[in-house]
Amino acid sequence: MMDETQTRPEHAPEVPPGSRESLWLLVSGPTIWAAHFLLSYLAVSVWCAKVAGRAGPLGDIRIAIGVLTALALTGIALTGWGGWRRHRFGEATLPHDFDTPGDRHRFLGFSTFLLCGLSFVATVFVALSVVFIRSCE
């Protein structure tokens, strides 16, 4: 059982600014990952099928995927930063398990931040493919 009875700290601000929240922020990091993944895959598929041919070079499409990756990573980083700021709102003590709007706000922020971290790494993983591979073969 829990040793200490949990009570909300008296001085914690109750309601965070603009406290209308949804689950969309939580999934935006992975959604950017998914969009990047899908666009990269479709881009090389169309490129290799329609432009360069099966033995052709990846050429410019690598640059395009590089730009796409930079955009995706920026988007993920900004979302993650937003999450981190929510996590730090007020008295930021993990594990954010008080029954208050403040802790709900911090929890959603922290989870958003963690998911952005994972999405960032996964996006880099995928982008590395075009660093090492230069042809459609």
Partner 1 sequence: MNEQTDYRDPEEEALALAQAERLAKAWKTPKGWRYWSAVNNTEVGLWYTGVSFIFFLFAGVLALLIRAQLAVPENDLLSAETYNQVFTLHGSVMMFLFGVPMFEAFSILILPQMLGARDLPFPRLSAYGFWCFLIGGVFVSGSIFFGAAPQGGWFMYPPLSTSYSEGLGPDIWLLGLSFIEVSSLAAAVELIVGVLKTRPPGMRINLMPLYSWYILVVAGMILFAFPPLIAGDLLFEMERAFDWPFFDVSRGGDPLLWQHLFWIFGHPEVYIIFLPAVALVATIVPTAARRPIVGYSWIVLAAVGTGFISFGLWVHHMFTTGMPAVSLAFFSAASEAVAIPTGVQIFCFLATALAGRFVKSVPMLFVSGALAIFVLGGLTGVMVAIAPFDFQAHDTYFIVAHLHYVLIGGMLFPVIAGIYYFFPLITSKKLSDKLGKIGFWLMFIGFNVAFLPMHFTGLLGMPRRVYTYSADSGFGLLNMVSSIGAFVLAAGVAVLVWDVLRPKGKQPTCERNPWGAGTLEWLVEMPGRAWGVRSIPIIRSRYPLWDQPNLMRDVDAGRFYLPDAQEGKRETLISTIIDADPIQCLRVPGPTFKALWAAIFTGGLFIFATYKLYWLAIASGTLALITILIWLWRDTAIIPAKQTKDIGLGVTLPIYASGAKSVGWWAMFITMIGNMSAFNSLVFGYFFFWTVHDDFPPDNTPDLGFWPVAALVAILLSWALTLWARRLNNLDHASGYYAALGLGALLTVAGAYALWAGPHFAGMDPTSNVYPATVWVLVLWCLIHLGIGLIMQLYCLARRAAGRMTATHDIDIRNVALYWHFMAITLATTVAVIAGFPEVA
List Cβ neighbours of 35 (8 Å cut-off, separation of 6 or more).
Answer: 72
Tell me if 57 sits within 8 A of 136, measured CB to CB.
Answer: yes
User: Which residue lies nearer to partner 1 by CB, 73 or 108?
Assistant: 108
Summarize as ranges the residues that interact with partner 1 (CB under 8 A): 1-2, 5-6, 21-23, 26-27, 30-31, 33-34, 37, 40-41, 44-46, 48-50, 54, 58, 94-97, 99, 101, 103-104, 106-108, 110-111, 114-115, 118-119, 121-122, 125-126, 128-130, 132-133, 135-137
Tell me if 86 sits within 8 A of 105, measured CB to CB.
Answer: yes
CB of 11 to partner 1, least distance (A): 19
CB of 25 to partner 1, least distance (A): 11
Which stretches of the chain are DSSP H helices?
24-46, 60-87, 101-132
